[in-house]
């Protein structure tokens, strides 16, 4: 019985596909992550304020958070270049990562590491946005940029197998494994208009109409597997099916309302992706990969005959992906040199960074002449607790903004991810 692990090791050397098709599952997810809101213009100022931009976002940044804010724009601006990148996992904090990296894991350390991973598995989310160019003239804006998103999950039993190996009498399965990722370009036309005035307060409405050009999309249609170690043999199977496309076209529509009161209070309500979908139709490909192993034991001298694998690729049919919808309610006010902002975000489905679990964000901007430091915090949703810092420089016509955000924890050591963003614009 002590030689069973040795037989497995031989099988892995003789048949690399058995180095568990979980490896294929990992590769599929990592591929998905190479590529959630489909907004082109960078959200730098709001990121520095905890992500609260529903009411406070102005100019080109209103395209991301609430196009109705364009109805009250007093300036024109040109967005030069900007980027925002966010990556996070749901299990390992920075402190835990530093603690286990390069160290020998004893039994207690392995148990602790496994307990760090939720029952739903280890997930990884990535969101990348780049703004190429943007123009805003009063209540009209034209923006262009690129979007990349990736989301994936590995079943917890995969880590059980890696940490503890094959345990006698135990079956591990990898069925809660999935992934998706996409990359696309976006061109958006935004418009805001004042609807009415009442007692000095003003109400405005706005819309984003977005054209999406798909570059690549891949998702795991089905994935799973199991491994059973018995008294006399080891048997198992693993499989993954993916669907991918090298291009497509789509659209997205956001709508919003905004109010300005005589007391200086600003309110905003946005429905993101009120309508939106992508039609993926270029070079659609289905791929199926499966490995099955049976009768692996010490007496079996032909391990290759006990392992069967298949890797099949064939043309697929065009398919449609629907953009996830979410509602954002925001409020902001100016108190002396401080701008205060708060948002409530509610998703209508659980997909990627959109969640049915509400998220609340708040922040402050301290206006010190040309220097504008920002601070914020948020909680809820997929991203969990987060803290942010940002800085704006208003150098005459030229504005420069930067922000950094923790993901999954308020303190740097507790964070399970990080977001950074920078942007530059000219304001007239």
CATH H-level, domain 33-226+241-290+314-427: superfamily = Outer membrane protein transport protein (OMPP1/FadL/TodX) (2.40.160.60)
Nearest partner of 37 among 71, 14, 65, judged by Cα: 65
- pLDDT at position 366 over 90: yes
410/89 Cα distance (integer angstroms): 15
Give the domain ranges of the chain: 33-226+241-290+314-427
What is the reported pLDDT for 16?
38
| Confidence band of 28 (pLDDT split at 50, 70, 90) | very low
Interval 62-82: pLDDT, tens = 999 999 999 999 889 999 888
Interval 154-198: pLDDT, tens = 888 878 777 877 666 677 777 888 899 999 999 999 999 999 998
What is the reported pLDDT for 94?
87
**Which has more confidence, 309 or 316?**
316
**Residue 100 Cα distances to 11, 104, 105, 153, angstroms:** 29, 8, 7, 21
Interval 268-292: pLDDT, tens = 999 999 999 999 999 999 999 887 7
Question: What residues are paired with 330 via a beta bridge?
Answer: 268, 343
Q: Count of CB atoms within 10 A of residue 118's CB? A: 12
pTM equals: 0.83
β 140-154/359-366 pair status: unpaired
């Amino acid at each position: 019985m002590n030689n069973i692990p040795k037989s497995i090791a031989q099988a892995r050397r003789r048949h690399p596909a058995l180095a568990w098709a979980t490896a294929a599952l990992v590769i599929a997810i990592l591929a998905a992550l190479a590529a959630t809101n489909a907004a082109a213009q960078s959200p730098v100022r709001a990121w520095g304020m905890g992500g609260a931009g529903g009411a406070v976002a102005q100019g080109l940044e209103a395209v991301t958070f609430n196009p109705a804010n364009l109805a009250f724009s007093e300036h024109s601006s040109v967005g030069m270049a900007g980027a925002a990148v966010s990556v996070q996992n749901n299990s390992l904090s920075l402190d835990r990562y530093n603690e286990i990296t390069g160290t020998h894991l004893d039994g207690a350390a392995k148990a602790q590491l496994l307990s760090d991973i939720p029952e739903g598995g280890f997930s990884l989310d990535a969101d990348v946005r780049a703004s190429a160019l943007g123009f805003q003239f009063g209540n009209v804006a034209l923006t262009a940029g690129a979007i990349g998103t990736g989301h994936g999950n590995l079943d917890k039993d995969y880590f059980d197998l890696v940490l503890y190996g094959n345990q006698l009498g135990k079956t591990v399965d990898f069925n809660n494994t999935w992934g998706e990722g996409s990359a696309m370009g976006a061109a958006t036309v935004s418009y805001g208009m004042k609807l009415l005035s009442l007692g000095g307060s003003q109400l405005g409405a706005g819309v984003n109409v977005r054209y999406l050009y798909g570059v690549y999309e891949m998702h795991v249609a089905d994935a799973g597997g199991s491994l059973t170690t018995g008294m006399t043999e080891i048997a198992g199977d693993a499989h993954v099916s993916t669907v991918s496309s090298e291009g497509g076209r789509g659209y997205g529509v956001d709508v919003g309302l905004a109010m300005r009161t005589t007391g200086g209070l600003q309110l905003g309500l946005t429905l993101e992706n009120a309508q939106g979908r992508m039609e993926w139709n270029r070079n659609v490909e289905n791929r199926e990969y499966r490995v099955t192993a049976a009768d692996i034991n010490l007496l079996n001298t032909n391990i290759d005959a006990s392992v069967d694998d298949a890797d099949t690729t064939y043309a697929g049919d065009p398919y449609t992906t629907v953009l996830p919808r979410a509602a954002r309610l925001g409020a902001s006010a100016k108190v002396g040199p401080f701008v205060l902002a708060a948002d409530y975000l509610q998703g209508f489905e659980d997909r990627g960074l959109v969640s049915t679990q509400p998220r609340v964000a708040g922040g402050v901007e301290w206006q010190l002449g040309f220097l504008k430091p920002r601070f914020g915090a948020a909680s809820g949703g997929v991203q969990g607790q987060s803290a942010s810092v940002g800085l704006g420089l208003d150098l005459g016509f030229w504005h420069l903004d930067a922000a950094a955000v923790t993901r999954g924890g308020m303190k740097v050591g507790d964070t399970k991810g990080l977001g950074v963003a920078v942007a530059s614009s000219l304001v007239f």
